[in-house]
Structure 1
């Protein structure tokens, strides 16, 4: 989906004058993507978060090339390493090395990435405010109002971008978006090593049921963790054991951080007039691998596009603009079901030489799962250029 077309500066005349045009709860990748697009188009945007930035954010921090391409600005200042190959294994015994056909993942640290994206949104004109405790969200004839710290903040449109456990989704259950999200869990640790450059990006399937362990090398450490598609006990112990067996490193339990991972999208569709939920707040995470930054950015941009068109008099088309993301996630859900039902067969299939080449080439090109399926017959004839879109090298 292309970035929203710029809106005329004078469209503010038709909006509520004693309030912001758009209120965005959550200043992660989804909220900042929406804020950047809306503020760049001239709307008054209030971006709020319960935390000051930079802040600790559990996340492996790997950005696929499609994620890099989705951003309207260069993120190379916060990229610590660019990966062009990886190892996929099952347990610790079996592993397959994938061919190097071009950059596939830009390694970042989320504290740095999120602060960088917030600074870009503010540079575009969005205002940022720390609101530690939002106590009420209400919808009225003129838009939305939230209460925090004894004050009220109003806007014509509301975007909820503060995650599956955030106040926007939980409070909006009283009015809309009442469906429960499916969710998995992840736990991770930052492992200092003498020479991170000698480590490859690595995934080990079935380290836990319906999940995998990972190693993501950064500039000065390894991000090591475990993801499971369903709630799983003992995930922190699984991280500690993986570090011990795979890396020979012993960590303390307090060094492992866990979090929920909503995935697969929400079953209830967006209705006109609803608040616009984006990113993790809408469960927009690939259930197979738990990757959500791409869907956060694209859903934030979809929300911005829908709001800009409504400001110009068009109907609410957010559901239409989010539809490609929902279709892609349904494809990932089917793949996850295949891995769950037949893990050994899935591993054999994905590590066949032709499959390895398809995976690496489509990832280097920045294609989504849906684009890869549609363009599969053409893939052998498509060259991976030195740079595709805004690329970090």
Structure 2
């Protein structure tokens, strides 16, 4: 299976970032190949929750070639929080304070990545991208001059082609970044999840298709979740360790996360057989500051997880993958790839740097933050507005500092007030 064609761009990885980039390029006339190492549709370990504003990023309403009904399995309008499986609080996403400047209706879309990613990949193919799955990239040759050469292996042999631009959308351990020498230093977090079969109407009374569950306090440096899907629950736990420590090979942590998942199922009265549950682990390349996401020639660009665009507080990456894929495609189409890293910085740095500062504070003192933050009436709506891109962490930083001061005054004399330094922790 020798190919040897030439493309304007080759995109490696058919996740949300890669498929968005391939679609944008193809629909504007570029010759594009979209490569995926596994056969589509393929399982992808991910909670699968994303803000409804991906509708605008994916231009669903304008282009009419991608219907939410094809991939959205549940629409979440409530978040149920607990701290160490106690102090439950069910918060609506659509009851904001009077006079709020953005009265938009909020919801979180819940998807299975196998279905969602395949829908995006097929849309890119309909736009003209050449979709090649079950094809593993083995070599990236990027010389000082001339086109880039890609060599890959598939079921029928070797595939080789050249391109003017290469987009690495192949995840935390992607071959593209590794072979061109980008992102050698990464902050890797970890998440583990299961998909537990569930019939609606059974189990805990707050197990509903419109409710997502979040547990703080049990996982040190992270949280656990239960996300509703059509006929199952995605139950997971993640440790983000926002201070930058590596979680690679930490077997004790994996055991802790698995135990948390089982405890969550028991807490919500979801019957299970442990031997039948399949635990999936996946690395999360948490944002740890803006890194170079283009090579010196600016003909290799990284997007999504490959670029380290995982929000260090929420641990989500779908929204930023789609957004970065679009930014990469526009940079190529408009001849501005030399400024691609700056464009990514402009889009993400202020918010993600603020999220990292807040994460270091929140995950160090989760009990304090749960009492004085999560339990506040409009905190959940504010968090989802940040997820949706309507607000950023810098937008609310002064409010956070003020509330920390107020909370410290309430708890003055206790262990928190002696140890916390509000402004220093957030700056």
**TM-score, normalised with respect to structure 2:** 0.77
Give the distance between the partners of 1:122 and 1:95, measured in 2 at CA.
45
Contact 1:86 1:97 in 2 (8 A): yes
Q: What's the counterpart of residue 7 of structure 1?
A: none
Change (3 A) 1:25 1:357: closer
> Post-superposition shift, 1:354?
4.9
Contact 1:33 1:121 in 2 (8 A): yes
> Post-superposition shift, 1:22?
0.2
> Post-superposition shift, 1:38?
0.6
Contact 1:239 1:256 in 2 (8 A): no
* Aligned residue runs from structure 1 range 366-381, under 5 A: 366-370=389-393, 372-373=395-396
Range moving further from structure 2, 184-193 or 17-26:
17-26
Range moving further from structure 2, 269-278 or 121-130:
269-278
Match of 1:97 among 90, 93, 118: 90
- 1:264 correspondence with 2:274: no
Contact 1:34 1:303 in 2 (8 A): yes
Range moving further from structure 2, 358-367 or 324-333:
358-367
> Post-superposition shift, 1:198?
2.9
Contact 2:188 2:284 in 1 (8 A): yes
Q: Unaligned regions of 5+ residues in structure 1, if any?
A: 1-16, 377-393
- 1:82 correspondence with 2:75: yes
Q: Unaligned regions of 5+ residues in structure 2, if any?
A: 61-66, 95-104, 202-206, 242-246, 248-252, 400-427
* Aligned residue runs from structure 1 range 144-223, under 5 A: 144-149=148-153, 150-173=158-181, 177-195=182-200, 198=208, 200-223=211-234
> Post-superposition shift, 1:18?
5.6
Q: What's the counterpart of residue 10 of structure 1?
A: none
* Aligned residue runs from structure 1 range 117-132, under 5 A: 117-132=120-135
- 1:233 correspondence with 2:254: yes
**TM-score, normalised with respect to structure 1:** 0.83
Match of 2:297 among 273, 290, 304: 273
Give the distance between the partners of 1:96 and 1:365, measured in 2 at CA.
22
Change (3 A) 1:375 1:340: closer
Give the distance between the partners of 1:87 and 1:218, measured in 2 at CA.
16
> Post-superposition shift, 1:252?
2.3
Give the distance between the partners of 1:66 and 1:300, measured in 2 at CA.
15
CA-atom RMSD, angstroms? 2.5
Deviations 1:27-66 (A, max 9, x none): 1100001011111111001100101110111111111123
Range moving further from structure 2, 198-207 or 350-359:
350-359
Aligned residues: 354
> Post-superposition shift, 1:168?
1.3
Q: What's the counterpart of residue 300 of structure 1?
A: 325
> Post-superposition shift, 1:269?
2.4
- 1:333 correspondence with 2:356: yes
Change (3 A) 1:305 1:94: same
Q: What's the counterpart of residue 39 of structure 2?
A: 52
